[in-house]
């Protein structure tokens, strides 16, 4: 995704503001599975698999899990250096 940093920063801020928990979890999911595993096709296939499962005994709903996967897919489209710069400036991490 070829964008200048200011444009990417605004888009990423909107994703983060929409739901901080989903955004943070999506970042971890992105780093866990890698950018190449998050194409539009694989994201939707993963969501179809998730939605086919019974979530009545789950801690989080299938829809919430799909929101995380879809947000990670959106994050995967950004240039790594842009994403890391944004995260360094706007996402505090407790270690």
Buried b (16+ CB within 10 A) or exposed e, 38-52: beeeebeebbeebee
Instruction: Give the domain ranges of the chain.
Output: 5-90
- Write down the pLDDT at residue 2: 53
Chain segment 54-68, per-residue pLDDT in tens: 999 999 999 999 999
How confident is the model over 15-27, as pLDDT tens digits?
Answer: 999 999 999 999 9
CB atoms near residue 86 (< 10 Å): 20
pTM of the predicted protein model: 0.80
For residue 19, give both structure tokens: 């739901």
pLDDT for 1 equals 53
């Amino acid at each position: 995704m070829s964008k200048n940093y200011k444009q990417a920063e605004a888009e990423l801020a909107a994703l983060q503001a929409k739901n901080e928990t989903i955004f943070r979890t999506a970042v971890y999911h992105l780093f866990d599975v890698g950018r190449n595993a998050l194409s539009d096709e694989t994201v939707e296939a993963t969501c179809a698999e998730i939605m086919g499962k019974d979530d009545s005994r789950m801690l989080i709903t299938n829809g919430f899990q799909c929101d995380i996967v879809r947000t990670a897919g959106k994050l995967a489209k950004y240039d790594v250096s842009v994403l890391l710069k944004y995260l360094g400036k706007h996402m505090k991490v407790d270690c």
